[in-house]
Structure 1
């Protein structure tokens, strides 16, 4: 079945002005660029959006800008996760902004909970959330993995847990989820370069970083893979393969912000502790961007 979160979702960057303040005009440009490039939905306040360095007021304003600019064209997902379960529950009960179609909730980081702790964390969120929940498994950032068994258990036990963004890099784990999931539960790639493989094995799409740099090619690759046009999709996958590795070579979102600057969409300012990419990598990305957008 087709799902609201089938295809290409974009983990939006948060552009900043040179003084470090949020660049709302730049954010509008990014949203318009993604819509024009054919993406299926938008994700705001994810890791790529540097949400860890935004204060509460800035988060509210960023979400407002995205919702206003999107104007109902695409579904919008909001990142809302953390390692204090009671605080996440409190934030949800305080109200999800109008215009948000789902929340993307990262597995608790730093605390390193057991599988039962992870299950109970998401259970508490599911009990109070008025919108669907997308689980987010990214062990490289959280230091704990949501096992395939826990993901499937949550999917079976809570109707409003509708998908998982899988960024474990473990294809066997991803396939186990796909094989055992209930009907209607979406498996979404969290690794751009594994997207082709995950969809080919039965996944539903991606929440992508590189897709906002080159949406014209990336979204078409995803649609072709979903349609079973694997030869055409494979060609686009390898067209983007090396540049995607470059985008993450010195951390995210430094690489993708450099590409967006090169495309004239927004600046590449980051907030500490993140730091801009090296001149050497910037020049390599510039060459790739010229090749891919000519």
Structure 2
């Protein structure tokens, strides 16, 4: 069964909750996992960018992955994030990371180094050949500093162990080209909550979402309606979430979603430096929005 069949719908990029000592709060993480699964998401993604992975050490990442597998308990598939700009180190991590219970690995395009399209291609080709699990490409030029073109993605889609892409380029023309040319069994999901419904309308298979941490039922219901071409009902939900999208990403991700979740008593509003909590003004706007939902 292809990833496209197994990961259609809403995946949630889980946050990593911290306690007052800025240690991983596993009690809160367990509650968040139950919250999103009970809310109806189709799968979870652990150790993505939203999980503040640049601030986690290697052992913390392994512990979080193992905890997530145990807590999920097979209720939904689990995707694990393993990426970076050192290809050799990623391959070493793939060899030692606990991936037996993972369905796929989400790997962000190399950041900061700004490789050419050929460099991006060779990076992912090497990772795919080394990985024990299918690779989901992750194109997020707003964070990495380099866009992965549709041509490069299509080229990679024919390589060993490359099963799909989380596309967050904020470029609908690129998305249309990608969807036009992708192989039939290649998974294409949105990486942008605010654009996800429109991208599903054009043919994407779903989304890996930030907002699903806080509104799993509303958001996953909307995506399922879109996948069934029930767009009037889907738009009605999306219209109620537009303000939330703006608030979530006004200052930083995951600072925005953690502010929402703190007010929902899902976690403490703690982030590791260099990321800090949202401003008091934005926090109050989020509180006001939550009162209307």
* 1:72-122, Cα deviation, whole Å (9 max, x unpaired): 111101110110111111111224433111100000111111111100000
How many angstroms does 1:281 deviate by? 0.9
Name the residue aligned to 2:210: 209
Equivalence for 1:38: 40
**Map of 1:197 onto structure 2:** 198
Match of 1:102 among 89, 101, 104: 104
> With structure 1 as the length reference, what TM-score do the two structures score?
0.97
Tell me, in whole angstroms, the C-alpha distance in 2 between the residues paired with 1:95 and 1:275: 29
Q: Is the 8 A contact 1:82 1:105 kept in 2?
A: yes
Matches within 5 A, 1:150-189: 150-158=152-160, 160-189=161-190
Gap regions ≥5 residues in structure 1:
none
Structure 1 position 136, deviation (Å): 0.2
Secondary structure of 2:31's match? Answer: helix
Question: Do structure 1's residue 133 and structure 2's residue 144 form an aligned pair?
Answer: no
* Counterpart-to-counterpart distance in 2, 1:66 and 1:288: 30
User: Aligned partners of 2:45, 2:291: CA distance in 1, in Å?
Assistant: 26
Q: Which residue of structure 2 lines up, in the alignment, with residue 240 of structure 1?
A: 241
Distance in 1 separating the partners of 2:231 and 2:78: 28
1:148 is matched with which residue?
150
Aligned residues of 1:156 and 1:181 also touching (Cα < 8 A): no
8 A Cα contact 2:66 2:98, kept in partner: no
Q: Report deviation, 1:263.
A: 1.1
- Residues 47-69 of structure 1: CA deviation (Å, up to 9, x unaligned): 10000000111111111121111
**Which residue is 1:282 aligned to?**
283
Q: Distance in 1 between matches of 2:74 and 2:193?
A: 26
* CA distance in structure 2 between the partners assigned to 1:49 and 1:93 by the alignment: 22
How many matched pairs?
291
Match of 2:261 in 1: 260
CA contact (8 A) 1:136 1:164 kept: yes
In structure 2, what is the Cα distance between the partners aligned to 1:114 and 1:176?
20
Q: CA deviation at 1:161?
A: 1.0
5 Å-filtered alignment, 1:34-73, equals 34-73=36-75
Aligned-partner Cα distance in 1 for 2:21–2:222: 37
Structure 2 residues without counterparts, runs of 5 or longer = none
Q: What is aligned with 1:121?
A: 123
Q: 2:221 is paired with a residue of what secondary structure? A: helix
Deviation of residue 290 (structure 1)? 2.4
- Separation in 2, partners of 1:86, 1:258: 36
Normalising to structure 2: TM-score of the pair? 0.97
Give the whole-Å Cα distance in 1 for the aligned partners of 2:203 and 2:98: 31
Conserved 8 A contact 2:62-2:97: no
- Tell me which stretches of 4 or more aligned residues in structure 1 moved more than 3 Å: none
8 A contact 1:83–1:111 mirrored in 2: yes
